[in-house]
C-alpha cells in the first residue's frame, strides 16, 4: 500500500504545481529575431519575461519553474505597439456585431469579411461595420448595395456606416428593420448621410444591452491584439445631446458621440473581471462653452491623475478641453486659456486636436501663454494630428517642451495629405504616432505605417510625397516614442529589462523589403501577442 500512497502524493504534488503556474506571467521566447527598439536598435534572439516584465533581453537568463517556452522559429518580434490617440472605447460601444473593413480593397472583400463574421454570429442578429473605412479604398469607389450585402449575409441584417454621420447601406433584413422604425431606405439599400443615417444608428443603440457593450469591447480588444496594438490612449467622445448633468458642454450626435459619465463602464467591468487583453490609458474629453469650464473643472476635482493600475489608468485630458472651432473659421474659444491654465496648475498631461495651420497657431499661442505662468515641459503636452503644420510652428511647440502626436488618417482621405512627417522628425521635437481610429481612420497600425513609409493613401495615390520616413522610424513612432505621451517612457514601448512584458510576433519580417515589399506592409498582422507576460492572441503555427 506504500506505493499507492507515494503515487497519491506525487499526483497531488503535480496538481499543486500546475495550479501554482496556472496564472503565471513568465515566458521565454527563443530562436527569434527580436527587435528591441531600444536606443541602439538592439536585436536579440531571446528574451525572458518574469512576473509580466522583461527580465533578460538576450541569452543568459534563467527560466523559472513556471516559465512557458516558445520557439519563434526565426520569426521577427517587436515591442507591443502603442497607439497614442484613438477612440477604441467608442469602437467597443458600437451596436451590432462589429466587422472591421480596414484593408478591404473591393466590395468582394467586404462580402468575404461579412460572410466570415456571419458564421460566428447567431442568425437574425445585426452585423455592423461602422467607421474606419472609406469607399475610396474599394476598387468600385462606392458603398456596397442591398443585393451585395444580401449575398454576403442572407440570414443577418447588415448595416455598413461611414465616418461620423454616414452615409450608410443595409440589406433586405436590415431594410425591414429600419423602415419599420420610420427610417427611409432606398431601393439599393442606401441610407442618406446625416439625419437618416444617425436615426439608423440610434435605432440600433436603443436595443443594445450592457452585455452587448461588454461583448463589443472584448471584440475591439481582440482586433487590436490581432494587429499588435497592446496599449491604447483613448481620447474620449463628443457628448450626446439630452444627457443629464452635462451642464454647458457642446453636444453633437454622431458615431463619435457617447455618454461621458458611462462610456467607460464596459471596460471597467471587464477590468474587474480580469478580461483586459490590452492596456487602456484614458484621456478625458470636455467641450465646455462657459467661462467657468464646469465639466472640465469637475473632472479635475473629482478624478485622480494616474488612478488605476498598469492595465487601465487615467492618464490625461484631451483631445479637447473646451468647445473648439470644428467647422469653418477659427475663432479662439474665450475660455480656452483659462481651461489650459487650470490643467497646467493641476499637473495633468494634455493633448489638443488640431487640423489646420490656424488651429496649430492658436494652440501654440495658448501653450506659450500658459507656459509663461506654469512651465509645461514636464507635463508632456502635445498637439494632435498636425496634418498641415509648418516648420515655424513646430519650432514654437518645441521651444516650450511640447510634442506632436502624428496621425496619418489621410490614408483614408482621397483628397488629403500630410502630416509633414519628415520635417517633424528632422526638427528634433518629440513625436509619436497613432491612428485617431475608429471613425475616420483605421485602428490597424500597419495601414498607418504603410502611409508613413510610402506616402500613398488607400486609393494608391501618392499623397504625402517627400515626407516619407524609414520603416524603422515609423515603427519607433508607434512604439518607443509613445511612452512619453503617457508619462510611461520607462515602462513601455521597447523591450528592455524592467519594462512591461508586451511583445508582438509578426506574420512576416517587416524590416526586410525583399520579403515584405511596401505594398505587403498593409497585410502585416500579429501571429502572437503578449501583454503583461500573458498570451492574449495566438495564431502562430508551432
CATH number at residue 322: 3.20.20.140
Say if 43 falls within a structural domain. no
Per-residue pLDDT, averaged over 9-34, amounts to: 76
Instruction: For residue 55, give the C-alpha cell.
Output: 527580465
d(CA 338, CA 245) in angstroms, rounded, equals 22
Among 11-25, 98-112, 201-215, 518-532, the minimum mean pLDDT is found in: 11-25
- Give the residue from 206, 232, 262 where a domain finishes: 206
- Reported for 22-26, long-range contacts at CB under 8 A and 24+ positions apart, including other chains, are 24/66, 24/67, 24/68, 24/533, 25/49, 25/50, 25/51, 25/52, 25/501, 25/532, 25/533, 25/534, 26/50, 26/51, 26/63, 26/64, 26/66, 26/67, 26/68, 26/533
Instruction: For residue 34, give the C-alpha cell.
Output: 527580436
Same domain for 181 and 266, yes or no, is: no
- Using pLDDT thresholds of 50, 70 and 90, give the confidence band for residue 415: confident
What is the pLDDT, as a whole number, of residue 13?
Answer: 46
- Using pLDDT thresholds of 50, 70 and 90, give the confidence band for residue 1: low
Same domain for 510 and 377, yes or no, is: yes
pLDDT at 63 over 90: no
- Quote the strand ranges of 220-297, DSSP E: 229-234, 238-239, 257-258, 279-284
- Give the residue from 189, 206, 223 where a domain finishes: 206
What is the pLDDT, as a whole number, of residue 542?
Answer: 87
Say if 489 falls within a structural domain. yes
What is the pLDDT, as a whole number, of residue 88?
Answer: 98
Q: Of 388, 443, 375, 377, which is closest to residue 421 (Cα–Cα)?
A: 388
Q: Do the bridges between strand 127-130 and strand 158-161 make them parallel or antiparallel, or are there none, so unpaired?
A: parallel
What is the pLDDT, as a whole number, of residue 14?
Answer: 45
Question: What whole-number percentage of the chain has pLDDT above 90?
Answer: 90
Same domain for 293 and 407, yes or no, is: yes
pLDDT at 61 over 90: no
What is the pLDDT, as a whole number, of residue 18?
Answer: 56
Radius of gyration of the chain (CA): 24
C-alpha distances in angstroms, 193 versus 90, 172, 198, 199?
A: 20, 19, 8, 10
d(CA 97, CA 437) in angstroms, rounded, equals 18
Same domain for 174 and 229, yes or no, is: no
Per-residue pLDDT, averaged over 246-254, amounts to: 85
Say if 435 falls within a structural domain. yes
Angle subtended at Cα 527 by Cα 523 and Cα 530, rounded to the nearest 5 degrees: 125
- Give the residue from 141, 176, 206 where a domain finishes: 206
Same domain for 140 and 243, yes or no, is: no
- Using pLDDT thresholds of 50, 70 and 90, give the confidence band for residue 45: very high
Q: Is the pTM of this model over 0.85?
A: yes
pLDDT at 309 over 70: yes
What is the pLDDT, as a whole number, of residue 5?
Answer: 57
Say if 46 falls within a structural domain. no
Per-residue pLDDT, averaged over 168-193, amounts to: 98
Same domain for 183 and 214, yes or no, is: no
Say if 462 falls within a structural domain. yes
pLDDT at 156 over 90: yes
What is the pLDDT, as a whole number, of residue 157?
Answer: 98
d(CA 511, CA 493) in angstroms, rounded, equals 18
* Mean pLDDT, rounded, of the chain: 95
Domain span at 194: 96-206
Same domain for 353 and 434, yes or no, is: yes
Say if 246 falls within a structural domain. yes
Same domain for 253 and 112, yes or no, is: no
What is the number of structural domains in the chain?
A: 2
What is the pLDDT, as a whole number, of residue 6?
Answer: 52
Helix (H) or strand (E) holding 30: strand 27-30
What is the pLDDT, as a whole number, of residue 22?
Answer: 87
- Using pLDDT thresholds of 50, 70 and 90, give the confidence band for residue 15: very low
Same domain for 313 and 361, yes or no, is: yes
What is the pLDDT, as a whole number, of residue 498?
Answer: 98
d(CA 277, CA 231) in angstroms, rounded, equals 9
CATH of residue 199 = 3.10.310.70
Per-residue pLDDT, averaged over 55-78, amounts to: 95
Per-residue pLDDT, averaged over 462-481, amounts to: 98
pLDDT at 441 over 70: yes
Say if 432 falls within a structural domain. yes
- Using pLDDT thresholds of 50, 70 and 90, give the confidence band for residue 326: confident
Same domain for 301 and 375, yes or no, is: yes
What is the pLDDT, as a whole number, of residue 246?
Answer: 80
pLDDT at 9 over 90: no
Say if 530 falls within a structural domain. no
Same domain for 182 and 223, yes or no, is: no
- Using pLDDT thresholds of 50, 70 and 90, give the confidence band for residue 96: very high
Same domain for 504 and 459, yes or no, is: yes
Amino acid at each position: 500500500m506504500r506505493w499507492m500512497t507515494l503515487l497519491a502524493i506525487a499526483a497531488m504534488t503535480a496538481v499543486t504545481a500546475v495550479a501554482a503556474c496556472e496564472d503565471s506571467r513568465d515566458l521565454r521566447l527563443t530562436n527569434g529575431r527580436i527587435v528591441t527598439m531600444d536606443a541602439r536598435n538592439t536585436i536579440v534572439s531571446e528574451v525572458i519575461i518574469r512576473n509580466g516584465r522583461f527580465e533578460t533581453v538576450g541569452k543568459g537568463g534563467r527560466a523559472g519553474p513556471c516559465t512557458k517556452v516558445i520557439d519563434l522559429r526565426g520569426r521577427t518580434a517587436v515591442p507591443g505597439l502603442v497607439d497614442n490617440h484613438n477612440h477604441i472605447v467608442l469602437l467597443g460601444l458600437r451596436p451590432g456585431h462589429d466587422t472591421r473593413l480596414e484593408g478591404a480593397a473591393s466590395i468582394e472583400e467586404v462580402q468575404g469579411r461579412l460572410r466570415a463574421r456571419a458564421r460566428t454570429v447567431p442568425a437574425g442578429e445585426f452585423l455592423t461595420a461602422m467607421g474606419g473605412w472609406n469607399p475610396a479604398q474599394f476598387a468600385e469607389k462606392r458603398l456596397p448595395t442591398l443585393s451585395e450585402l444580401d449575398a454576403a449575409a442572407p440570414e443577418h441584417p447588415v448595416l455598413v456606416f461611414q465616418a461620423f454621420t454616414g452615409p450608410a447601406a443595409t440589406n433586405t433584413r436590415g431594410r425591414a428593420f429600419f423602415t419599420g422604425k420610420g427610417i427611409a431606405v432606398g431601393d439599393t439599400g442606401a441610407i442618406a448621410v446625416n439625419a437618416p443615417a444617425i436615426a439608423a444608428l440610434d435605432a440600433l443603440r436603443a436595443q443594445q444591452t450592457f452585455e452587448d457593450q461588454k461583448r463589443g469591447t472584448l471584440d475591439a480588444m481582440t482586433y487590436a491584439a490581432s494587429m499588435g496594438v497592446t496599449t491604447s490612449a483613448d481620447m474620449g467622445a463628443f457628448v450626446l445631446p439630452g444627457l443629464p448633468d452635462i451642464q454647458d458642454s457642446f453636444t453633437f450626435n454622431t458615431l463619435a458621440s457617447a455618454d461621458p459619465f458611462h462610456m467607460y463602464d464596459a471596460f471597467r467591468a471587464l477590468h474587474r473581471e480580469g478580461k483586459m487583453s490590452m492596456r487602456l490609458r484614458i484621456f478625458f474629453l470636455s467641450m465646455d462653452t462657459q467661462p467657468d469650464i464646469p465639466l472640465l473643472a469637475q473632472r479635475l476635482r473629482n478624478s485622480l491623475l494616474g488612478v488605476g493600475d498598469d492595465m487601465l489608468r487615467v492618464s490625461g485630458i484631451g483631445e479637447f478641453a473646451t468647445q473648439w472651432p470644428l467647422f469653418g473659421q477659427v475663432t479662439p474659444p474665450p475660455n480656452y486659456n483659462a481651461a489650459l491654465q487650470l490643467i497646467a496648475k493641476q499637473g495633468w498631461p494634455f493633448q489638443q486636436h488640431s487640423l489646420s495651420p490656424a488651429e496649430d497657431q492658436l494652440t501654440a499661442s495658448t501653450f506659450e501663454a500658459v507656459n509663461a505662468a506654469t512651465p509645461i515641459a514636464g507635463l508632456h503636452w502635445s498637439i494632435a494630428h498636425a496634418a498641415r503644420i509648418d516648420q515655424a510652428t513646430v519650432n514654437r511647440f518645441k521651444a516650450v517642451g511640447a510634442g506632436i502626436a502624428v496621425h496619418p488618417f489621410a490614408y483614408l482621405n482621397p483628397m488629403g495629405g500630410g502630416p509633414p512627417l519628415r520635417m517633424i522628425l528632422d526638427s528634433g521635437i518629440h513625436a509619436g504616432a497613432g491612428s485617431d481610429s475608429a471613425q475616420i481612420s483605421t485602428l490597424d497600425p500597419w495601414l498607418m505605417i504603410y502611409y508613413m513609409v510610402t506616402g500613398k493613401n488607400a486609393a494608391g495615390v501618392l499623397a504625402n510625397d517627400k515626407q516619407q520616413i524609414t520603416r524603422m522610424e515609423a515603427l519607433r513612432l508607434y512604439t518607443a516614442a509613445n511612452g512619453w505621451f503617457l508619462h510611461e517612457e520607462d515602462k513601455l514601448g521597447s523591450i528592455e529589462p524592467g519594462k512591461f512584458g508586451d511583445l508582438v510576433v509578426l506574420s512576416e519580417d517587416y524590416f526586410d523589403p525583399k520579403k515584405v515589399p511596401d505594398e505587403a506592409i498593409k497585410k502585416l498582422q500579429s501571429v502572437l501577442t503578449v501583454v503583461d507576460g500573458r498570451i492574449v492572441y495566438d495564431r502562430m503555427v508551432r
